[in-house]
Amino acid sequence: MTPAGKPNNILVDHEYQQAFTCMLQGPFPRPWLETVVPEVEGWLRGVNDRSRIGLFWASDLDSLWADAAFEISRRTDGGRFISPGAFRHTLANMDAGSLALHLRITGPVMTFSLGNDLEVAENSARRFLAGRRISAAITIIEFSANPNDNGTEKRKPIYHAAGSIERQVRARYLALAP
């Protein structure tokens, strides 16, 4: 609903509800991320001190879907129902923060916006490892099915970002040689 109380032709209630429902379900509101959690948990099994583990995250959508949902809420009924729970997801590092919280990672957590370089998170992780700042790193990148396809995939309506854009997630575990 717009502030005037009339739905515009793009944003209708069920889409906005879908975005919010996804967002508030937590701890991993992006369904595709759940696919990597068991794998990452396996890598960390037996690692009790996680202060030397770093998490390096890169995404080509950042917090866009949450930004959109929050923006819609600002426009709805004059902003009477702006949700603090929604706002917190509008920070690009919140998914990485959620995962770090879930995995109890207390080393550095770095979040990158994915530009042209798909290796940005892994390169950073390697630098932290080489500098002996961490002993192991988990890198996660999430991107549209074809990250170089600016013409089609990324032009899907923004309100679909909460669930129906085809996403890929790539997780890796990097460690210092013993």
* Range 43-59 burial, b when 16+ CB lie within 10 A, else e: bbeeeeebebbbbbbbb
Per-residue binding string, another protein, 2-41, x by CB under 8 A, is: ------x-xx------------------------------
Q: Lay out the site mask for another protein across 138-157 (x = CB under 8 A, - = otherwise).
A: ------------x---xxxx
C-alpha dist (Å) from residue 160 to 92, 134, 173: 18, 37, 31
CA dihedral 173, 115, 16, 159 (to 10 degrees): -120
Task: Kindly state whether residue 47 participates in binding another protein, applying the rule CB under 8 A.
Answer: no
φ, ψ (nearest 5 deg) of residue 100: -65, -40
92 is an interface residue for another protein by CB under 8 A = yes
Single-letter amino acid code for the residue at 30: R
Q: Which of 40, 108, 122, 139 binds another protein (CB under 8 A)?
A: 108
CA–CA separation, 60 and 99 (whole Å): 18
Asked if 65 and 19 count as a contact pair (C-beta separation under 8 A), the reply is: yes
From the CB of 39, what's the least distance to another protein, in Å? 19
Q: Could you tell me the smallest distance in angstroms from the CB atom of residue 178 to another protein?
A: 21
By CB under 8 A, name the binding residues for another protein: 8, 10-11, 50-51, 55, 60-62, 64, 67-68, 70-72, 74-75, 79, 82-84, 87-88, 90-94, 96-98, 100-101, 103-117, 120, 124, 126-128, 130-131, 133, 150, 154-159, 161
